Chains A and B, each alone.
Chain A
């Protein structure tokens, strides 16, 4: 429908971004309603969100969206006007409609085909809410579409040309009392009328009172117009559409164009400008006279209005600037350089032997503080509240609880917690899976089961986010029956994931859920089956530099806790030395550090060692050898060893030469011109300007042991403090 020229395409794109915001506001509002909000503004917000989507959709000719939004809006309007009560059933429909609306928005954005069935079902549900007396609304809804296209401004087409031998109309126009009050202006109307054809306009001053009785803002004149134009009466009336009801208007077709005798005494006014004296009475007086006296009034009125609005404003949407992500990336990189540069400067000043109290050192300290602030601020640009993610999850809860026929409530907390945008995007899948798991497996099968356990029939899934010591903690918990440990254990045994005689602690049993190939559902349900297990969830969390842990209490519920770095641009790393090289290992994989004694290491066969850790055995690798920095040593006695936890749940011990530091490092991607060395994830520049490689331990070990340890998981040796 619309031309695909550039500005239009851009506005279209911005419309869809706005839609996302509106959908978010819609979800919020619905949630507030569901939580029993009494605030009348809540339903208004909900209504306006749908309304604005409809309005924009109409402008771009997105008819399915308009159609659905219109019906949705109609029902919300009923609620808004207290003609309909939002029962919990109605609220369910509203939520579903909001979901469908967001689907439609995305479908329209991506120009995909519209799934008809779901929409029709929801339309029917909405109609049911409206009830019988709104049957006639049906028609309006159907009618709305043509309206979207016809969108008549109800204004005349002004470009109609007067033809010869054209019909002629006599028009009498008598403005009513309130015409000026609406900002209408007879001069404009007459001018537009004159534009339709050839007009002879005369002003009838007979009702004009003497000057001392004249109220300056009251229309007194009457105009007689003879219009010669090939148009219909309707078109003439259209000119007066805005003043319909505010004036007396008589239009008579007189057929043939003959001079009208009774107006001969007045000068024929074919130029509308002639009547200019009339507006002089009206408009300018309004502008000039009373201004000085009353100027205080509007000012007094305005602040009170703003003050009333200001309170609401706190909850209102923040104003935002859209910025290309690439620009931010560049800035993050530059700030990274700045940090490094600053560290180098500090070091060289130090080496120059300057007094710590010198101006240069003081200045540098300030510089250091500013640099850190800049770094934090830049990181914050990439940060987004997890709210959008949580909203998606509330949809997952609705859908999954409906699919398994459970009554489930999602409670969210800490929606304002900000996390790196990329992290948020990549959290969506694992979190979806965890939420589904909680609904499907975490909660009891039926409401009766819950009540028997002394809980409310409605299951609760809780999703929380919080900042904790420089990391983000996201928790998914349910108040279900908790992990059935004997069952988990027997499944793990029956699937040969653990030895038959394994004796595991509770926490070790819980962690079996993360094993590849483990699925507790005896039947693969529609919902959480699909061959994706918690192992995949854990892998994706680990790829984000995060950890996931599980706690469960029988009869009380299960909690999965994800701990994530705030950003992917910096990494908490352990700086280590191996064969005179400086390397960085992600801190989150390091479980503990050990110093090897004489009896700790056992040789399995030549070149293969295990190390004894708290009664268990962990394969031992010499990092220097694996990376090709040196040849194997005779003995590992006295070496420093890092015990690391790998993504597959296994552990490994890495022999290194020394630990330098734990610090945040700026991650620098290695570009494609480098050979992709196995085990090397990225690089960073340290404070002294030295480049250090960042290791990917899982990859290092996989590369070193093509098929040895990796295919033999050793979960029975797992230590519980993961």
Chain B
């Protein structure tokens, strides 16, 4: 069974790139445009891992991670933060919200795949 990923990013370019890099690697990629949309998509989806941006309209990455973690079935779902931010305090905040890992954009497709393989097993 293929690994299901939910990627949340407000930039269409980023979503396209994530899909382009993950789909050929055999991931089943689902996309959402912001935190609110992400929560909606998550309803009825059980992703093996979630990728999220931080700076997004409506609900940002922190809020989204919070929202995911409050859902029992997603309490242990790995969440990778994919962002251009690299400030330690933001990393800390994301972790406090429940983020599993932090990847700085722009990303190397191969490494993103590896990171996902790593957290999903």
Within 8 A of A (CB), among B25-81: 34-36, 39-40, 43, 55-59, 63, 67, 69-73, 75-79
Contact with B along A260-291 (1 / 0, CB 8 A): 00000000000000000000001100110011
Least Cβ–Cβ distance between A570 and chain B, in angstroms: 34
Q: A151-B105, A153-B111, A184-B78 are in contact. Are A8 and B20 (CB under 8 A)?
A: yes
- CB of A180 within 8 A of chain B? yes
Least Cβ–Cβ distance between B6 and chain A, in angstroms: 13
Q: Are A242 and B58 in contact (CB under 8 A)?
A: no
Report Cα–Cα, A55/B54, bound state, in Å: 12
Which of A7, A41, A55 has the largest number of chain B CB atoms within 10 A? A55
Least Cβ–Cβ distance between B7 and chain A, in angstroms: 14
Which of A181, A184, A242 has the largest number of chain B CB atoms within 10 A? A242
Q: Which residue of B lies closest to A48 (CB)?
A: B55
Q: Are A51 and B40 in contact (CB under 8 A)?
A: no
Report Cα–Cα, A339/B25, bound state, in Å: 50
- CB of A306 within 8 A of chain B? yes
Q: Are A312 and B57 in contact (CB under 8 A)?
A: yes
Contact with A along B82-100 (1 / 0, CB 8 A): 0110100000000100111
Q: A282-B76, A302-B43 are in contact. Are A48 and B56 (CB under 8 A)?
A: yes
Report the stretch among A102-110, A292-300, A369-377 that lies at the interface: A292-300
Q: Which of B10, B70, B71, B106 contacts A59 (CB 8 A)?
A: B106
Within 8 A of A (CB), among B92-121: 95, 98-108, 111-112, 114-115, 118-121
List B contacts of A305 (CB < 8 A). Answer: 35-36, 39, 59, 63, 67
List A contacts of B102 (CB < 8 A). Answer: 242
Q: A48-B55, A59-B105, A312-B58 are in contact. Are A184 and B100 (CB under 8 A)?
A: yes
Q: Are B103 and A153 in contact (CB under 8 A)?
A: yes
- CB of A450 within 8 A of chain B? no
Q: Are A283 and B13 in contact (CB under 8 A)?
A: no
- CB of A187 within 8 A of chain B? yes
- CB of A31 within 8 A of chain B? no
List B contacts of A10 (CB < 8 A). Answer: 16
- CB of A662 within 8 A of chain B? no
Least Cβ–Cβ distance between A266 and chain B, in angstroms: 23
List B contacts of A180 (CB < 8 A). Answer: 76
Q: Are B72 and A295 in contact (CB under 8 A)?
A: yes
Report Cα–Cα, A287/B72, bound state, in Å: 7
- CB of A253 within 8 A of chain B? no
Q: Are B72 and A290 in contact (CB under 8 A)?
A: yes
Q: Are B14 and A183 in contact (CB under 8 A)?
A: no
Q: Is the interface of A mostly helix, strand, loop or mixed?
A: helix
Q: Are B72 and A294 in contact (CB under 8 A)?
A: yes
Report the stretch among A11-19, A345-353, A546-554 that lies at the interface: A11-19
Size of the B side of the interface (Cβ < 8 Å), in residues, is: 54
List B contacts of A55 (CB < 8 A). Answer: 11, 13-14, 83-84, 105-106
List B contacts of A298 (CB < 8 A). Answer: 67, 70-72
Q: A51-B55, A180-B76, A312-B58 are in contact. Are A59 and B14 (CB under 8 A)?
A: yes
Q: Which residue of B lies closest to A291 (CB)?
A: B72
Q: Are B59 and A309 in contact (CB under 8 A)?
A: yes
Q: Are A56 and B67 in contact (CB under 8 A)?
A: no
- CB of A603 within 8 A of chain B? no
Report Cα–Cα, A148/B55, bound state, in Å: 18
Report Cα–Cα, A209/B101, bound state, in Å: 29
Q: Are B101 and A14 in contact (CB under 8 A)?
A: no
Q: Are A183 and B72 in contact (CB under 8 A)?
A: no
Q: Are B98 and A181 in contact (CB under 8 A)?
A: yes
Q: Which of B11, B13, B76, B107 contacts A183 (CB 8 A)?
A: B76
| Partner-B contacts on A (CB < 8 A) | 7-8, 10-11, 14-15, 18, 41, 44-45, 47-48, 51-52, 54-56, 58-59, 147-148, 151-155, 158, 180-185, 187-188, 191-192, 241-242, 245-246, 282-283, 286-287, 290-291, 294-295, 297-298, 301-302, 305-306, 308-310, 312-313, 316
- Give the 8 A-B CB pairs with smallest separation, nearest first: A309-B58, A309-B36, A298-B71, A153-B111, A242-B101, A58-B106, A183-B100, A15-B13
Beyond the given A47-B55, A309-B35, please list 6 additional residue pairs across the A-B interface where CB-CB is below 8 A: A151-B105, A151-B108, A153-B108, A185-B119, A302-B39, A306-B40
The 6 sampled A-B contact pairs (Cβ below 8 Å) are A48-B10, A52-B55, A153-B107, A154-B104, A181-B75, A297-B71
